[in-house]
Amino acid sequence: MNRAYEKTFSVEGDNFDNAGTASIEIKKILKDLRIDEDVLRKTAIAVYESELNIISYARSGNITLYVDDDTINIDVEDEGPGIEDIDLAMQPGYSTATEHIRQMGFGAGMGLYNIKSCSDLFEISSTPNVGTHLKIIIKRNGR
């Protein structure tokens, strides 16, 4: 790739009808950019879980994808309740998902843990009553 690629996707809170739309589009872009299968898989998981968390918990958010020759960068910023105890939220199995969310098959409490597992760099910061910010970097191996 000669030039870096960047695009921002907006995600609306509570709109489960659109769940996965941004993730599917990002997957297509990465395929077109001929990103390696394993890197694509990890990116797809990280983006999907991030998108679902905005829909499940925030009012609205943006996912920015930035791809250069060495890395995939995903920035996730939302406006919402934020996360009071980040260490707790990161624990696999911890979830505050409502019954409504669980009935749709989400709320296992694995999203943030899986995002971190897929990332080479993962940073999370959050301000209660303001919002949450994730910075995710996945290396494009062997390049």
Ligand X SMILES: Nc1ncnc2c1ncn2[C@@H]1O[C@H](COP(=O)(O)OP(=O)(O)OP(=O)(O)O)[C@@H](O)[C@H]1O
Which residues of this chain interact with Mg ion, rule CB under 5 A?
53, 111
Out of 89, 118, 136, 138, point to the residue binding ligand X (CB under 6 A): 89
- Report which DSSP code applies to 108: S
Q: Which of residues 55-74 bind ligand X (CB under 6 A)?
A: 56-58
Work out which of 26, 39, 55, 112 binds ligand X, going by CB under 6 A.
Answer: 112
**Burial (CB count <10 Å: 0-12, 13-18, 19+), residue 60:** middle
* Closest residue to ligand X in the complex (CB): 111
Nearest distance from C-beta of residue 106 to ligand X, angstroms: 4
What span, in angstroms and rounded, lies between the C-alpha atoms of 138 and 74? 8
When CB distances are held under 5 to 8 angstroms depending on the partner's kind, the choice from ligand X, Mg ion, none that residue 107 binds is: ligand X
Task: Give me the amino acid identity at 24.
Answer: I
Nearest position to Mg ion, beta carbon: 111
3-state secondary structure 50-99: HHHHHHHHCCEEEEEEEECCCEEEEEEEEECCCCCCHHHHHCCCCCCCCH
Q: Does 78 bind ligand X (CB under 6 A)?
A: yes
Helix (H, G, I), strand (E, B) or coil at 143: coil
Which of 11, 46, 83, 138 is in the footprint of ligand X by CB under 6 A?
83
Q: Which residues bind ligand X (CB under 6 A)?
A: 49, 53-54, 56-58, 78, 80-83, 89, 94-97, 106-113, 132
